[in-house]
Amino acid sequence: MYTIRWYSPDTKFEIDHSVHHRLFNELLRVNFTDLDVKNELKRQKVAPESVGINFILAFIADKGTVPLLENHFLVNDPSLAVNSVEQLVTILLVQFLSLTGYVSTSSGLTPYGKSLLAQDGNFHEEIVVICELLKSKFDLAKQFNIIPSSLQTDPPEHAKEIHLISKVATLLRAQLKNKPWDGPIDHGLMAFNSLVKAIYRSLRNLLEIILLFLFMKRKLNVPHQEYIKISLKLPFFQEESTAMGILTKSFLQGTSLEQLKSTFSIFDDVNADLTKVFNFWNQVMVTVEHLYKSEQIEESVFKDFQAATKFLQKRRQETNI
């Protein structure tokens, strides 16, 4: 992402506010009716509150394609007005997933969309972040800060695995007591968290820009008092801290469960949070395997994740967690 700032007080420019870009026009053609959404809620046997990334991916996988209007001018037809929050969020998320490469308006789910749908947990936001990092060729197994070998605390043969797993764990929310953090800190994970924060904000900004775009271009029959629900339904509202990553890293470095509970007394339940990390890692591996089989990531990246999985399994066996 590039941020370019330029200003000349002596120069004036005409700004064309009309929608003329081919991509914008294509997005305007995306059209799910309120009845479509209600029928899909029944098919998936979920409540309206469940309209989110997983709902959209399953919806499109079932349909095979994204329903499109013949041309973008038809959005002005009163009969095509958006009549519910769920319909609006569905259209918005399809456009978002299209722009970010998980959905194709011409062929349905992309390899990244299929890999995201393959995981069966409630970690779609976090795995989208993993996917965005993999798309950008970011090396999750590489340490941020350079530490002299004499000062390293990670076992040299497992350093990559520890860095990879702890970074992935950083994406999760920890259940913490309502008091200041009194555990250790990790500068490498803090640096990684800054990157994650930038990704979260970029994705959230994109969602809100698309929402504004829909408000400007589509006729909405949604009561004003319902607008707050729209914001609450949108993902990537807030990124997590490094707490889970630090806990996981300490666990992987050989710290006993008793010592973890003592060191990380701010955690409500260390066992439960570590179990959450293990479940999340399993879902990440499902996604990574799909991406590797569809030739979206390099073999070296896949092998890094495989090695990390073996190391994590060994550590779990040693602690019976």
Nearest to 25 by CA among 94, 88, 89, 95: 95
Specify which residues 220 forms β-bridges with.
82
Residues 6+ apart with CB under 8 A from 169: 244, 245, 247, 248, 249, 277, 280, 281
For position 220, what pLDDT does the model report?
A: 82
For position 308, what pLDDT does the model report?
A: 95
Identify the residue whose tokens are 């319909």. Answer: 87
For helices 124-135 and 187-217, the axis angle rounded to 10 degrees is 100
For position 119, what pLDDT does the model report?
A: 82
Whole-number Å distance between alpha carbons of 94 and 101: 11
Low-confidence ranges of the chain (pLDDT < 50): 19
For position 281, what pLDDT does the model report?
A: 96
For position 280, what pLDDT does the model report?
A: 95
Around Cβ 133, how many Cβ atoms within 10 Å? 19
Contact 98, 58 (CB under 8 A): no
Specify the DSSP class assigned to residue 72. G
For position 301, what pLDDT does the model report?
A: 95
For position 296, what pLDDT does the model report?
A: 95
For position 70, what pLDDT does the model report?
A: 73
For position 28, what pLDDT does the model report?
A: 76
Contact 312, 161 (CB under 8 A): yes
Contact 247, 267 (CB under 8 A): yes
Residues 6+ apart with CB under 8 A from 17: none
For position 239, what pLDDT does the model report?
A: 82
Around Cβ 67, how many Cβ atoms within 10 Å? 14
Tokens of 152: 């390293």
CA torsion, points 113, 281, 142, 267, in degrees to nearest 10? Answer: 130
Contact 96, 207 (CB under 8 A): yes
Q: What is the pLDDT of residues 165-221, one digit of tens each?
A: 999 999 999 999 998 998 899 988 999 999 999 999 999 999 999 898 888 887 888
**For the whole model, what pTM was predicted?**
0.86
**Cβ-count burial of 318 within 10 angstroms (0-12 exposed, 13-18 middle, 19+ buried)?**
exposed
Whole-number Å distance between alpha carbons of 304 and 141: 7
For position 233, what pLDDT does the model report?
A: 87
Residue ranges in the chain assigned as alpha helix (H): 22-28, 34-44, 53-63, 85-99, 111-118, 124-135, 159-169, 187-217, 227-233, 243-252, 257-263, 270-293, 299-319
Residue type, 76: N
For position 286, what pLDDT does the model report?
A: 95
Specify the DSSP class assigned to residue 143. -
Whole-number Å distance between alpha carbons of 314 and 273: 18
Specify which residues 296 forms β-bridges with.
none
For position 21, what pLDDT does the model report?
A: 59
SS3 12: coil
Q: What is the pLDDT of residues 264-287, one digit of tens each?
A: 999 999 999 999 999 999 999 999
Tokens of 293: 């089989």
